[in-house]
């Protein structure tokens, strides 16, 4: 399925429909999230739309997944260049050239970046504070400061800082936000005081480690504060309620394990009444509601936990847990409502808080369930037939990109139609998208092994790829199902003619070199050449005519010799 979406993306990109290409590559990534080529292709589509920030994100993911692939650095350099991050672009192109020194695309990109460097240095700053927000140094400084490091776990703060980085004049829009002012002070090495500048962020006990808490407390003590906050007045009664709340929570946990859900709810509710500064009581009660099928109550508790967690600046992992639980409740409800979008939205928000593998797995499952449901609802053979006919009309007019769109729509309406795969394979062949054409032809044969068009499409693609021996096998396989098919017979004749050119020595030097290079990539040819017996046979053919005469009586040996001749590796006299 991911390959199909990738093929649609490639076709849309070739047709200049970059927005559609982004959508198709996104679909492919959802099905195959570790495929570096998909991120590379989407990065190129984003760059073509001048969405360089998105292109940069995909390029970084490409390099992360495949650090030894030179094209990833080409995408990275192009994205940086589009964002006018000249030095980063130069660095990316140079790293790519370390992997592939002869890559012309990387060389050209590096030249463009180096040519832009003087212009970039001569450009006047956009604002008096422009340098404070430029480049990765901004994020490094914010990460180094104990207080702003916590802010980086809050998506709204990160978004504001990204807006300021894009245009420092946007700082005026966020001056009332104390977090932005604190960050501004860190970047300029100036201390700003505020009403909440010294508030500590309470981290629930169950999601923090003693080591991390101790280190954070140590950093808080070391941090110099210009304005001391007024200490919170905590009554003795409030202090005494916290241990009681923890005890109620433990009783709730014990009841939950015994599946005494009503008792568990009572204990968690009592814990919340005793201490409203620990959102784990809410998330635990939400888990009970989820277990008992009370999904609306579960979602309400999760929303309260998120809202309260933001007020308390609770650990982002706890907020993510509440959002994940909310998403799980929506998934359960989707079995009746058939609406997975709320669940997907909840999981995505959870991942912005904390990238948890379990949440990511649940997101992928929800997206797959949504896609499967859409395909079921979209299935309509009669409309699929109409789209295929529209594709045929565009094919006759030689408007192949438009034909691909209609054939693809036909397959979305009916993904089991071999004719649509056959016709789209023909379009891809005309567009020069041979790998995509080959996949469609193979899918056509898989759906209907007796459909002769599938074999003619596959054979034609292999012939254009100059894999004449494979094309011959495909045509011969098709003739088993349709012995009188003229297209298959013509295909066999063409392949035999090409293969015999090597036997007769009629290949030009260029053709011979190209065929030898392709042959050396064939695993079968590699096995023949690595066989000690066959190496001796080849020596005998060159130096020992009598032994060579004996070898010609062995059908297996001669079959292998014929393979080498067809590949241009051996020339018979």
279-299: pLDDT as tens digits: 999 999 999 999 999 999 999
Question: pLDDT, tens digit, for every residue of 137-173?
Answer: 677 677 777 777 777 778 888 888 888 777 776 676 7
Clarify whether residues 425 and 438 are in a common domain.
Answer: yes
Residue of higher predicted confidence among 66 and 555? 66
Clarify whether residues 350 and 443 are in a common domain.
Answer: no
Any domain includes 122:
no
> Across 285-289, 380-384, 521-525, which has the greatest mean pLDDT?
285-289
Integer Cα distance of 421 and 457 in angstroms: 10
E strand or H helix at 210: helix 210-222
Q: Could you tell me the two tokens for 524?
A: 């079968």
pLDDT score at 257: 92
Mean pLDDT over 55-64 rounds to: 92
Residue of higher predicted confidence among 48 and 214? 48
Among 321, 316, 310, smallest CA distance to 149 is for 316
Question: Residue 423 — pLDDT band, cuts 50, 70, 90?
Answer: very high
Query: What is the total count of domains within the chain?
Result: 5
Integer Cα distance of 570 and 561 in angstroms: 8
Clarify whether residues 477 and 526 are in a common domain.
Answer: no
Do residues 363 and 347 make contact, with C-beta atoms less than 8 angstroms apart? yes
Integer Cα distance of 478 and 474 in angstroms: 6
Q: Is the dihedral of CA 482, 485, 487, 490 positive or negative?
A: positive
Any domain includes 459:
yes
Clarify whether residues 270 and 398 are in a common domain.
Answer: no
Clarify whether residues 498 and 520 are in a common domain.
Answer: no
Integer Cα distance of 202 and 210 in angstroms: 14
Of the three residues 343, 377, 411, the one that is the final residue of a domain is: 377
The CATH number of the domain holding residue 522 is: 1.10.260.100
pLDDT score at 203: 25
Residue of higher predicted confidence among 119 and 163? 163
Any domain includes 470:
yes
Residue-number span of the structural domain to which 54 is assigned: 1-116
Clarify whether residues 360 and 409 are in a common domain.
Answer: no
Integer Cα distance of 80 and 60 in angstroms: 11
Question: pLDDT, tens digit, for every residue of 74-118?
Answer: 999 888 888 888 899 899 999 989 988 888 778 878 887 887 766
HSE (side-chain half, CA atoms, 13 Å) at 132: 17
Clarify whether residues 177 and 292 are in a common domain.
Answer: no
Integer Cα distance of 180 and 34 in angstroms: 35
> Which own/partner contact pairs does 507-513 have at CB distance under 8 Å and 24+ positions apart?
507/568, 511/568, 512/568
Question: Locate tokens 């001669």: which residue?
Answer: 558
Clarify whether residues 34 and 140 are in a common domain.
Answer: no
Any domain includes 232:
no
Any domain includes 214:
no
Integer Cα distance of 305 and 299 in angstroms: 10
Clarify whether residues 523 and 555 are in a common domain.
Answer: yes
The fraction of the chain above a pLDDT of 90, given in percent, is: 40
Any domain includes 309:
yes
Q: Which of 107-111, 347-351, 355-359, 500-504 has the lowest mean pLDDT?
A: 500-504
Any domain includes 128:
no
Of the three residues 377, 395, 418, the one that is the final residue of a domain is: 377
Clarify whether residues 456 and 434 are in a common domain.
Answer: yes
Clarify whether residues 559 and 523 are in a common domain.
Answer: yes
Question: pLDDT, tens digit, for every residue of 443-459?
Answer: 999 999 999 999 999 99
Of the three residues 333, 359, 377, the one that is the final residue of a domain is: 377
Q: Could you tell me the two tokens for 472?
A: 């011959």
Do residues 565 and 504 make contact, with C-beta atoms less than 8 angstroms apart? no
Integer Cα distance of 409 and 351 in angstroms: 32
Question: pLDDT, tens digit, for every residue of 320-338?
Answer: 999 999 999 999 999 888 8
Mean pLDDT over 539-566 rounds to: 75
Q: Which residues of 220-233 are buried (b: 16+ CB within 10 A; e: fewer)?
A: eeeeeeeeeeeeee
Burial label, 100 (beta-carbon count in 10 A; 0-12, 13-18, 19+):
middle
Clarify whether residues 64 and 144 are in a common domain.
Answer: no
The CATH number of the domain holding residue 255 is: 1.25.40.10
Report the interhelical angle of 357-378 vs 18-31 (nearest 10°). Answer: 120
Integer Cα distance of 557 and 561 in angstroms: 6
> Across 4-18, 127-141, 510-524, which has the greatest mean pLDDT?
4-18
Residue of higher predicted confidence among 436 and 376? 436
- Res 249 pLDDT > 60: yes
Any domain includes 572:
no
């Amino acid at each position: 399925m991911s390959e199909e979406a990738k093929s649609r993306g490639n076709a849309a990109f070739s047709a200049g429909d970059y927005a559609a290409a982004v959508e198709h590559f996104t679909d492919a990534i959802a099905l195959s999230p570790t495929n570096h080529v998909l991120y590379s292709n989407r990065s190129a589509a984003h760059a073509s739309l001048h969405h360089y920030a998105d292109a940069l994100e995909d390029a970084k993911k490409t390099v992360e997944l495949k650090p030894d692939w030179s094209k990833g650095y080409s995408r990275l350099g192009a994205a940086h260049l589009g964002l006018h991050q000249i030095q980063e672009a130069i660095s990316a192109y140079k790293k790519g050239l370390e992997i592939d020194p002869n890559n012309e695309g990387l060389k050209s990109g590096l030249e463009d970046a180096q040519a832009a460097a003087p212009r970039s240095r001569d450009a006047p700053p956009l604002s008096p504070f422009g340098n404070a927000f430029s480049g990765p140094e901004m994020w490094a400084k914010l990460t180094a400061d104990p207080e702003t490091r916590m802010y980086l776990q809050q998506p709204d703060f990160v978004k504001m800082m990204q807006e300021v980085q894009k245009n420092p004049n946007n700082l005026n829009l966020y001056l009332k936000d104390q977090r932005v002012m604190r960050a501004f002070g860190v970047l300029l090495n100036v201390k700003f005081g505020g009403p909440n500048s010294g508030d500590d962020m309470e981290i629930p006990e169950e999601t923090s480690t003693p080591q991390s808490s101790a280190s954070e407390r140590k950093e808080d003590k070391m941090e110099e504060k210009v304005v001391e906050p007024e200490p919170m007045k905590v009554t003795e009664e409030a202090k005494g309620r916290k241990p009681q709340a923890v005890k109620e929570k433990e009783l709730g946990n014990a009841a939950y394990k015994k599946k005494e859900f009503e008792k568990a709810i009572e204990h968690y509710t009592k814990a919340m009444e005793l201490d409203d500064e620990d959102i784990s009581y809410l998330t635990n009660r939400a888990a009970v509601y989820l277990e008992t099928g009370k999904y609306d109550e579960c979602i309400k508790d999760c929303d309260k936990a998120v809202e309260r967690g933001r007020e308390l600046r609770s650990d982002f992992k706890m907020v993510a847990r509440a959002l994940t639980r909310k998403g799980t409740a929506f998934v359960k409800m989707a079995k009746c409502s058939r609406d997975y979008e709320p669940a997907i939205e909840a999981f995505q928000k959870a991942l912005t808080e904390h990238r948890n593998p379990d949440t990511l797995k649940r997101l992928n499952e929800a997206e797959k369930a949504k896609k499967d449901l859409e395909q079921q609802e979209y299935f309509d053979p009669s409309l699929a037939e109409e789209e295929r006919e529209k594709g045929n009309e565009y094919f006759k007019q030689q408007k192949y990109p438009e034909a691909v769109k209609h054939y693809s729509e036909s397959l979305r309406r009916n993904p089991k139609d071999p004719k649509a795969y056959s016709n789209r394979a023909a379009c891809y062949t005309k567009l020069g998208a041979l790998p995509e054409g080959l996949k469609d032809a193979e899918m056509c044969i898989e759906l209907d092994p007796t459909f002769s068009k599938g074999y003619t499409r596959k054979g034609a693609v292999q012939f254009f790829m100059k894999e004449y021996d494979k094309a011959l096998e495909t045509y011969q396989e098709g003739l088993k199902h349709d012995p009188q098919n003229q297209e298959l017979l013509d295909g066999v004749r063409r392949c035999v003619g090409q293969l015999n050119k090597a036997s007769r020595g009629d290949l030009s030097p260029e053709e011979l070199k190209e065929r030898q290079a392709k042959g050396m990539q064939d695993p079968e040819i590699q096995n023949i050449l690595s066989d000690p017996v066959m190496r001796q046979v080849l020596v005998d053919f060159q130096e020992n005519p009598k032994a060579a005469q004996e070898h010609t009586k062995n059908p297996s040996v001669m079959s292998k010799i014929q393979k080498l001749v067809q590949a241009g590796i051996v020339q018979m006299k």
